[in-house]
Amino acid sequence: MIPAQDDTMAQTVRMAVFGQRDFAAGFFDDLAAIGTDPAGGITRDTYGPGENRGHDVMARAAEASGLGLSVDAAGNTYARWTAADDLRTVMMGSHLDSVPRGGNFDGAAGALAGLVAIRALRALDARPRINLCAMGIRAEESVWFQTSYVGSRAALGTLPVETYDTARRIDTGRTLADHMAACGCDVEALRNGARPLDPATLEAYIELHIEQAPSLVEEGRPIGICTGIPGNFRYPDAKIVGRHGHVGTPHRFRHDAAIAGAEIATEMEKLWTAREAEGTPLAVTFGRFHTDAAFHGLTTVPGLFHFSIDVRAYDEKTLAEIEQEFLRIVARAEANHSVRVELGPRKSAPVGPVDPDLRGGLVAAAQALGTGFIDLGSPASHDAAAFAAAGVPMAMLFIRNENGSHNPLEAMEIDDFLEGCAVLTEFLYRKYCR
């Protein structure tokens, strides 16, 4: 149980957090300066120069805060406030990479939140009964290597060893191992079973993150307290093989790959709509969806079509059901249009259940502060899911962000960020400090 605390102390905690405004704003400004893409937006490329510079920013901030700094074999950065070597650790963090031409706050807000919380607690002369650590995580954005949670899973020892050699960065074609080695990581140690983070030593993992949809803007609330993280299945490189033909070919003779792709997409949209009408939240996305540029044209029946699909849901049973229905839809499209669908490699991420005690503690902290919040399921996957899958109790806070994420217009306000940090700090103070 979290002990009761009067509102006066909660407001003292808030003041300590808001006293970190200049530190927080400077951190975000430094990240923007090193990540600005000449083509627009922010690019901190995974296991590349951009992400490296982001971790340098965090390292400087940790040292300026008087915290113990370390980097693990996967390149993750840790800023620790150690109460005692034999105590468990509350880990707070998120990733410092970005999608190409994205925004400045996705991921970075969570890496910074742990630093802000620790600095505020130190300003209050708090005496934690547990170790506290802010973590800057590598390689969360799966767009670069088509693989989720690389940095966190490498640290937890749950990243399949073959990934180091099979995953290739989409822009360079080089393997994950090559990119990691170029960034100074000890790939051989990881291949040989090194586990920088032992889940048994972790009391909890708490991640603050900008919201990636406009729910909080719509509700007029600065924060959301997470109810769950969806799992997913993905086919990032699927293709439909038919036969190129003349535009005048009668229907019965066609092997139209594009129409088959359109049927798969529309049938999945119908399935999504029907399941949501039954009360089952889903998300279905065809991120790539195109004919072959080498052959397509106004007067050609497309014989080749490429697509990717990402399906996410909040429980494993639903994911399994949707995937089976997807495979049936694919089979029907093959039969209806005399084509062959090659789905290619399958990727997936597990559902991330939120720990009810941690979530309850965050709710109590928000109430003590008088912070407006809503319960909010995460529409996206996060490193928190990797920690949950490794058996670490997990919780998340979302921060209002007007223009969504993965775009240059991310618009988190510093006051909203600090309000989320205040909830995190109040929770830590109430539960873990004398």
| DSSP bridge pairs for 291 | 305
Does the structure show a pLDDT above 60 at 3?
Answer: no
Q: Where are the domains of the chain?
A: 7-229+352-432, 231-349
Q: What is the pLDDT of residues 238-248, one digit of tens each?
A: 999 999 999 99
Asked if pLDDT for residue 48 goes beyond 60, the answer is yes
Residue 318's H or E segment, with its range, is helix 316-337
Band of residue 420 on the pLDDT scale cut at 50, 70, 90: very high
* pLDDT more than 90, % of the chain: 91
* Apex 385 CA angle, 346 and 417, nearest 5: 125
From CA 106, how far away is CA 407, in angstroms rounded? 10
Q: Does position 5 have pLDDT exceeding 80, yes or no?
A: no
Q: What is the pLDDT of residues 101-148, one digit of tens each?
A: 999 999 999 999 999 999 999 999 999 999 999 999 999 999 999 998
> Is 290 assigned a ligand-binding role in the annotation?
no
What's residue 200's pLDDT? Answer: 97
Assess whether pLDDT exceeds 90 at residue 415.
yes
> Band of the pLDDT at 379, cuts 50, 70, 90?
confident
CA 408 from centroid of its chain's CA atoms? 17
The reported pLDDT for the residue numbered 171 is 97
User: Looking at residue 84, what is its pLDDT?
Assistant: 87
Mean pLDDT score, 196-204:
97
Q: What average pLDDT does this structure show over 228-236? A: 93
What's the pLDDT at 169? Answer: 98
Report the relative pairing of strands 89-95 and 131-137 from DSSP bridges: parallel
| Burial (CB count within 10 angstroms: exposed 0-12, middle 13-18, buried 19+), residue 287 | exposed
pLDDT at 254 over 50: yes
Instruction: Between 204 and 406, name the one with better pLDDT.
Output: 204
Q: Using alpha carbons, select from 71, 68, 66 the residue that is nearest to residue 51.
A: 71
With a pLDDT cut of 70, the percent of the chain lying above it is: 99
d(CA 429, CA 13): 8
Closest CA to 76 of 155, 183, 133, 161: 155
CB neighbours of residue 409 within 10 Å: 12
Cα 213 to Cα 221, 226, 287, 406, distances in angstroms:
13, 13, 17, 11
User: Would you report the helix, strand and coil content of the chain in percent, each value rounded to 5?
Assistant: 40, 20, 40
255 appears as a binding residue in the annotation: no
Q: What is the mean pLDDT of the chain?
A: 96
186: left (phi over 0), alpha (psi -120 to 50) or beta: beta
List phi, psi (to 5°) of 229: -115, 130
Q: Flag whether pLDDT at 390 surpasses 80.
A: yes
Q: Determine if residue 321 is labeled as part of a ligand binding site.
A: no
Cβ density class 130-139: b for 16+ within 10 Å, e for less: bbbbbbbbbb
**Is residue 209 helix, strand or coil?**
strand
Q: How many CB atoms lie within 10 A of CB 156?
A: 24
Residue 6: what pLDDT?
54
pTM: 0.85
Q: Residue 380: what pLDDT?
A: 81
The answer to whether the annotation marks 219 as part of a ligand binding site is no
Instruction: Please check if 95 is assigned to a binding site.
Output: yes
Q: Which ranges constitute the DSSP H helices of 140-256?
A: 150-156, 163-166, 176-182, 187-191, 215-219
Amino acid symbol at 351: V
Identify residue 424 by its one-letter amino acid code: L
Does residue 404 register a pLDDT over 90? no
Architecture label for domain 231-349: 2-Layer Sandwich (3.30)
- What would the pLDDT profile of 161-191 be if each residue is shown by its tens digit? 999 999 999 999 999 999 999 999 999 999 9
What would the CATH number be for the domain defined by 7-229+352-432? Answer: 3.40.630.10
